[in-house]
Structure 1
Amino acid sequence: MKKIILTVAAVFAFGFANAQEEAKGEGFSKGDVFISGSVGVNSAKQGDVKENGFDISPKAAYFVTNNIAIGAKIGYETLKKENEVATTLDQNTFKVGVFGRYYTTPATKFSLFGELGAEYWMGKDKLTDTKVNTFDIGFRPGLSYFVSNNFALEATFGNLSYNSAKADVDGAEAKNTFDLNLNLSSIKFGVVYKF
């Protein structure tokens, strides 16, 4: 009986040690660099107005501490609104920005994070040929899950933002907006590669 118990204990100890060894390298630590990209698709209907959008946003970041990463991002977004009579908005937007992330448990397989970012958007409405310049500051919560030592899946949900948009026409005034978005169209999924 003693031999069986010792054998079972040895198997569990070896399995635990092996699992710990395999888990090494997952998560983030100071000095890590990652590239990621997220894709968002939304479709909504309110009354007779339909809205469809798509955005893609690649980014890269460097961990300055075990919990904090800073980085840069670019992006492209399309948005189209139409009702039963006509298309009311058909806009393409290019974005550039910087961001910082705080990870709650960066050295583990699963971690929650908060991302604070600032972006400059250059958009154009194809219907009116009007250019719009926007400055945006926003906070977005998210989660990251490592599927291997170098690859992770991430998702963000919702955002809290302030932006100031101004059309590039004579006499245009800036439109300032404060927004809290918690609907399902704000979910974005992405893939992360850690160097």
Structure 2
Amino acid sequence: MKKIILTVVALSAIGFANAQNKKESNLGFAKGDVFVSGALLFGSDSKISYYKEDRFVFAPSVGYFVSDNIALGVNLNIGSGSVQATSASGKSKTSTFAAGLAGRYYFNPASQFSLFGELGAAFGTDKSTPVIGNVTKVNSFAVALAPGLNYFVSKNFSLETKIAVLSYASQKGDQPGDENASSIRLGGDWSAVSFGVNYKF
């Protein structure tokens, strides 16, 4: 009987200590948490004597846990760039704007390491302004289902990766005669994998 009591006391003490450590470390997500992520990119490529391409991308995203397991988020993608083919051609300008919504279900959000599934949709417009000629636009719509992993490296920062295993995308230009182009993808490769860093408030 004494052994049983001592065992129960020991297990209770271990459980209490783990709970305290978890509470103090505060690793993981919970209802009411807000996290932000995003990307900032600037690039410049030169391929031949005069060819030059510059691009800038700003892509922030915000998520909010409406329950312990479910997070809803919004994201933007704002980009601009220019292309110069020859010394006399001048620079053609490009711009991108996209906005999307996403929902995530976390299977074990309160843990340092957690799994999630994400369903997201986005609308976007790509605009091209040549030096000579008409401005053209391409409107797009995309939906993707992606499983992912999240790992907290500290109380506020986590690393995540996800892969789009099922996706649908369509796009159409605004010029007369432009046809709608669509694609469906099942399965993933390295081009469908993304990595990110989250900051939790």
The secondary structure found in structure 2 opposite 1:27 is coil
The secondary structure found in structure 2 opposite 1:106 is coil
Aligned match of 1:188 in 158, 169, 194?
A: 194
The residue identity in structure 2 corresponding to 1:111 is: S
- Which residue does the alignment assign to 2:111? 108
The secondary structure found in structure 1 opposite 2:144 is strand
The secondary structure found in structure 1 opposite 2:32 is coil
- Which residue does the alignment assign to 2:125? 122
1:72 aligns with 2:74: yes
- Quickly say closer, same or farther: Cα 1:39–1:116, change in 2 above 3 A: farther
1:134–1:166 contact (8 Å) kept in structure 2: yes
TM-score (norm 2): 0.68
- Which residue does the alignment assign to 2:151? 145
Q: Which of these two proteins has the greater Rg computed from alpha carbons?
A: 2
CA shift digits 1:91-118 (9 cap, x unpaired):
7532111110011100000011111111
- Which residue does the alignment assign to 1:32? 33
2:37–2:199 contact (8 Å) kept in structure 1: yes
The residue identity in structure 1 corresponding to 2:158 is: A
Q: Distance in 2 between matches of 1:34 and 1:113?
A: 15
Aligned match of 1:98 in 83, 97, 101?
A: 101
- Which residue does the alignment assign to 2:84? none
The residue identity in structure 1 corresponding to 2:114 is: S
TM-score (norm 1): 0.70
- Quickly say closer, same or farther: Cα 1:157–1:54, change in 2 above 3 A: farther
Query: Once the 2 structures are TM-superposed, how far is the Cα of residue 158 of structure 1 from its aligned partner?
Result: 3.1
Ranges in structure 2 where 5+ consecutive residues have no aligned partner = 1-9, 42-54, 82-92
Aligned CA-pair RMSD: 3.3
Q: Distance in 1 between matches of 2:154 and 2:101?
A: 27
1:177 aligns with 2:183: yes
The residue identity in structure 2 corresponding to 1:141 is: P
2:144–2:164 contact (8 Å) kept in structure 1: no
The secondary structure found in structure 2 opposite 1:170 is coil
The secondary structure found in structure 2 opposite 1:117 is strand
Determine which structure has greater relative contact order: mean sequence separation of CA pairs < 8 Å that are 6+ residues apart, divided by chain length. 1
For structure 1, which segment, 121-130 or 147-156, has the greater mean C-alpha deviation from structure 2 after superposition? 121-130
